[in-house]
Amino acid sequence: MKTWLTLLVLLAVACLAAFTWQWIAADPGYVLVRYAHTSVETTLIFAVIALVFVWGVVNLLWRALRAPLAAWSRRRRRRARERIAGGLVALAEGRYTHALRELERASHESGLQAPALLAAGIAAQARGDDARAAALLSRAPPAAAAVLNARFQLEQRRPGAALALLKPQVEKSTLPPAGWQLLAEAALRSGDAATAFAALPELARAQALAPQALAALQARTLAAVLAEAPDRDRLNELWSGLSKAQRNLDEAVTAYARRAAEIGQILAGMSALEGAMRRQWSEPLIVCYGDLGPAEADARLRYAEGWITQQPNSAGLALTLGRLCIQCKLWGKARGYLERGLEIEPSPALWEALGDCHAGRDDLPAAARCWRNALLAARGEPTQPLPQAPAATALSTRAAVVEERSEHGVPRLPGVAR
């Protein structure tokens, strides 16, 4: 098929050439060029061929004259590429002085100026030369320079300065994707959760973070903005404005519940926690359930005790039950739950709550030992055992860890998710 197509094309070209030649032979045209007393006469075909020839000669001469300059330009661009490559490698290796020298030289090439200046700014900052870094970044593209300067400010624990650098770029709608991440981080560290919350949609659209990192930042932001709600109206507005997936985040639920309890909406906080735990068990949620203050402690205790058979190996549930019993002044039950939690998984919070329990019973020496154990556990040091309780007063609820098995009868380790 291709051979026949080629033959047809060649035949068409031959026919076109034959007709063209006949047309030119019939009337080759006439060109007269006169200057002063000199006249040049020729055919149109010859004049066209002569013009093409002259253009070719002039082009060759121009190329020959420009050859040294072109060779020098190519060498300069090659050297600039080598310098920026060497500078980036030196920057990664921590040879900041060499990197700075190579990158500054590379910045004189127009096509490489922006990346070379930005990398040179990073090298200068890494050396601790803030003034030189600022001078280099002042010649770089403004948006990219603002992002780098903001990152430097965050690294130096100056989130307010980073936020001040990024907000003008937001107003100009020139903030790049990396800038939205830095804006959210700087706002969270500055206590401006509203700004971080407003940055979440842009950050999600920019896809500048991996899904896991974005989810972690989103959880921190939601927790912060809910915790800063000034009143119940604003809190309910924020909570109702969240998506279903966002309301399922442990951090958001706990922040909402804690803030609701603080402003007198304990039932709303309890409902949010109970609904979330019915969907999926969570240790942070059950611990938060015991941290909502003394209001409705009896109702919360009854609800939490309903989870004992389903979550017998939960140290968080034992902690919550102990704290709720303390709030209800049920000292014996509180001690039993807390000591059970210590057998499952010791923690500073359990030791602290057990100390509060002993203090409520006016057993100050035991309380002091528990509080000391809380400090030791927080430092990762071995704790001291408490005196053994008399057999007559020991509680039967102080059981060992209950064995759990899967649907296939295989034993499951305590604390391992189903």
Residue 49 lies in a domain: no
Q: Which helix (H) or strand (E) holds 38?
A: strand 38-42
Residue 28 lies in a domain: no
366 band by pLDDT with thresholds 50, 70 and 90: very high
Give pLDDT, residue 54: 85
120 band by pLDDT with thresholds 50, 70 and 90: very high
pTM (global) more than 0.75: no
Which one is predicted more confidently, 412 or 324?
324
10 band by pLDDT with thresholds 50, 70 and 90: confident
Give pLDDT, residue 417: 45
DSSP assigned state of 243: -
Q: Retrieve residue 362's tokens.
A: 């006016």
Give pLDDT, residue 358: 94
Give how far Cα 324 sits from Cα of 266, 288, 299, Å: 14, 11, 10
Report DSSP letters for 288-331, one per residue. Answer: HHT-S-STTHHHHHHHHHTTTTT-TT-HHHHHHHHHHHHHTT-H
Q: Which residues contact 153 (CB under 8 A, 6 or more apart)?
A: 159, 161, 162, 165, 186
Sign of CA dihedral 201, 205, 209, 212: positive
Residue 317 CA to residue 336 CA, distance in Å, equals 13
Give pLDDT, residue 384: 87
Share of the chain above pLDDT 90, in %: 51
Residue 269 lies in a domain: no
Residue 223 CA to residue 259 CA, distance in Å, equals 10
Give pLDDT, residue 385: 84
**What 3-state DSSP class applies to 41?**
strand
DSSP assigned state of 32: E
408 band by pLDDT with thresholds 50, 70 and 90: low
CB 217 within 8 A of CB 252: no
397 band by pLDDT with thresholds 50, 70 and 90: very low
Residue 188 lies in a domain: no
Give pLDDT, residue 7: 82
Give pLDDT, residue 391: 42
- Structural domain range at position 109: 83-138
Q: Retrieve residue 274's tokens.
A: 């109970």
Q: Tell me how many domains the chain contains.
A: 2
Last residue of a domain, one of 73, 105, 138: 138
Minimum mean pLDDT range among 14-18, 96-100, 370-374: 14-18
Residue 96 lies in a domain: yes
The percent helix, strand, coil of the chain (3-state, each to 5) is 70, 5, 25
pLDDT of 402 strictly over 60: no
Q: Which of 204, 147, 214, 205 is nearest to 175 (CA)?
A: 147
Which one is predicted more confidently, 403 or 103?
103
DSSP assigned state of 140: S
Give pLDDT, residue 412: 58
DSSP alpha helix (H) spans, 107-192: 113-126, 130-137, 142-155, 159-171, 177-190
Which one is predicted more confidently, 206 or 355?
355
Residue 3 lies in a domain: no
Minimum mean pLDDT range among 14-18, 108-112, 263-267: 14-18
Give pLDDT, residue 206: 83
The region that residue 329 occupies, defined by phi over 0 for left and psi between -120 and 50 for alpha, beta otherwise, is left
Q: What is the mean pLDDT of the chain?
A: 86
318-331 pLDDT, tens digit per residue, is 999 999 999 999 99
pLDDT of 146 strictly over 50: yes
Residue 166 CA to residue 248 CA, distance in Å, equals 31
Burial class (CB within 10 angstroms; exposed 0-12, middle 13-18, buried 19+) of 177 = middle
The CATH number linked to 314 is: 1.25.40.10
pLDDT of 398 strictly over 70: no
Share of the chain above pLDDT 70, in %: 90
Total Cβ atoms within 10 A of residue 96: 20
Question: What does residue 386 show for φ and ψ, rounded to 5 degrees?
Answer: -85, 155
Residue 54 lies in a domain: no
Q: What is the mean pLDDT of residues 74-85?
A: 85
pLDDT of 410 strictly over 60: no
In angstroms and rounded to an integer, the radius of gyration of the C-alpha atoms of the chain is: 39
Residue 371 lies in a domain: yes
Q: If you average pLDDT over each of 14-28, 200-214, 255-269, 392-406, which comes out highest?
A: 255-269
Residue 172 CA to residue 68 CA, distance in Å, equals 45
Give pLDDT, residue 25: 66
Minimum mean pLDDT range among 19-23, 59-63, 273-277: 19-23
pLDDT of 266 strictly over 90: yes
Give pLDDT, residue 107: 87
